Amino acid sequence: MNSLQRIVEKLYRLILRAYPPVYLETFGDEMQNTFTEGLKEANSQGKFIPFILQELYDTPKALVITYWYGWRQKVAGGIELLQQATSSSDLPPAPPDGRTSWWQVLLEISMFLIVGLFLILATYFPLPGLHPGWQRNAEFLGNIILPLTVPFLIFGLARGLPRWTYPLGGLLLSYFGLIAGQTSLWLFLTIMLFASAILIIVAILTDPQPSRLPIPLRRIGQSLSIGWTRLSFGVFGAMPLIILMAFDDAHANNRTPYFALSVLAMIASVLFYCRSQNINTQISILLTGLTFSILGAWIDTISFSSGLTSWTTVTGFGIESIIWIVFLWIQWVTIILSPLVFTLFSNVVHVKRAM
């Protein structure tokens, strides 16, 4: 039995090598001694085989917990390094937003007012030189979106990314997403975006003593840290294009009042968001605005379908269009809520590290 015990002890040493090196360096000897003593005690009690089986049963779980703990510690340490590099402790307070200033409300809602007014006028009162199908003409939309967003977005980035710049960025990115979808480049652009972000993060984390980023970049980080709903507000900047997508049906939008109601719902929700003080209320307002804006297209589809004379046409067209609109709503609800995932993840990591 002594020879068998020595063989089991050697096998256990091999199993210990599966643990992370740092963990093994700290607790390896203690684990080996504990196992040896337990093995001797089990042998004296005639429980040699049950003891070995129990150890084999517990080892996979222990390995998973150990690696999970180590990974969590590394993530928490990486987050701390990023916070050091982007610290805003020496910066002046962030610019005010619409919660405290009506002037800021006007800036934050201005893009939606301008684009909303254009959508209503171009839909119900066709402008000179406006060709049918302009809603799906990417080049025409780009001639409007790019001059409206790029100069002011650059100015806002230089000013530390005040809240009124977020929807400009959302509208610009959604337009690029539209172009990428039409040209089948969305996968390539997504990969390049994630690769660039990972390279930036790795460059910071691999520096043992990372220096603070330049002040303009840290001011942007300061703006982002005020509240995660700012990113959701930026995503909401895509609402004009979402409304055009939702009303992309088989008849002219100038025959329905629901298009105008959707645009007004977008503007009203932005106004309420800008003055709201509570994060939960802010995200609820954005989701409500998204819902009512898309709901207008849903009601319009039902109204149009009910006016058709062929039951087969009504059934096929109505169900297909409604399913597409519902999918559009689910897609953008998920995107608006996506910043919450990163916030919760960061909080969980910090709580676990503190414990």
Tell whether pTM > 0.95: no
Residue of 103 and 24 predicted with greater confidence: 103
pLDDT at 122: 86
Tokens 């960025």 belong to 169
Confidence grade of residue 115 (pLDDT, cut at 50, 70, 90): very high
Mean pLDDT of 97-103: 90
Which segment, 67-71, 132-136, 277-281, 311-315, is predicted with the most confidence on average? 277-281
The set of residues, in sequence order, having a beta carbon less than 8 Å from that of 177 and lying 6+ positions away, is 186
Confidence tier at 355 by pLDDT (50, 70, 90): very low
**Residue 237 pLDDT exceeds 80:** yes
Query: What are the distances in angstroms from CA 157 to CA 146, 164, 216, 222?
Result: 16, 11, 8, 12
184 DSSP assignment: T
Has residue 105 got a pLDDT over 50? Answer: yes
- 194 has a pLDDT exceeding 80: no
- The answer to whether residue 347 scores a pLDDT higher than 70 is no
Q: Is the pLDDT of residue 210 over 90?
A: no
User: What pLDDT, on a 0 to 100 scale, did the predictor assign at position 250?
Assistant: 45
**Distance between alpha carbon 354 and the CA centroid of its chain, in Å?**
26
Rg (CA), the chain: 29
More confident residue, 189 or 291: 291
CA-based torsion, 66, 71, 74, 75: positive or negative: negative
Range among 9-18, 179-188, 330-339 rated most confident:
330-339
- CA pair distance 242, 286, nearest whole angstrom: 14
- Percentage of the chain lying above the pLDDT 70 cut: 80
Report the pLDDT value the prediction gives residue 349, as an integer from 0 to 100: 42
Name 111's Cβ contacts closer than 8 Å, sequence gap at least 6: 148, 149, 164, 167, 168, 171, 237
CB 274 within 8 A of CB 285: no
Kindly report, residue by residue over 14-29, the tens digit of the pLDDT: 888 888 877 778 787 8
At 346, the pLDDT band (50, 70, 90 cuts) reads low
The predicted structure's pLDDT at residue 316: 47
Long-range contacts of 249-256 (CB under 8 A, 24+ apart): 249/297, 249/300, 249/301, 249/304, 249/321, 250/304, 250/317, 251/304, 253/123, 253/135, 254/123, 254/124, 254/126, 256/300, 256/303, 256/304
Q: Check residue 135 and give its pLDDT.
A: 80
Highest mean pLDDT among 31-45, 185-199, 231-245, 287-301: 231-245
Residue 351 confidence class, pLDDT cut points 50, 70, 90: very low
Summarize pLDDT for 296-335 with one digit per residue, the tens.
888 887 776 555 444 444 444 457 777 888 888 999 999 9
| pLDDT value at 207 more than 80 | no
CA pair distance 277, 274, nearest whole angstrom: 8
Average pLDDT over residues 68-92: 72
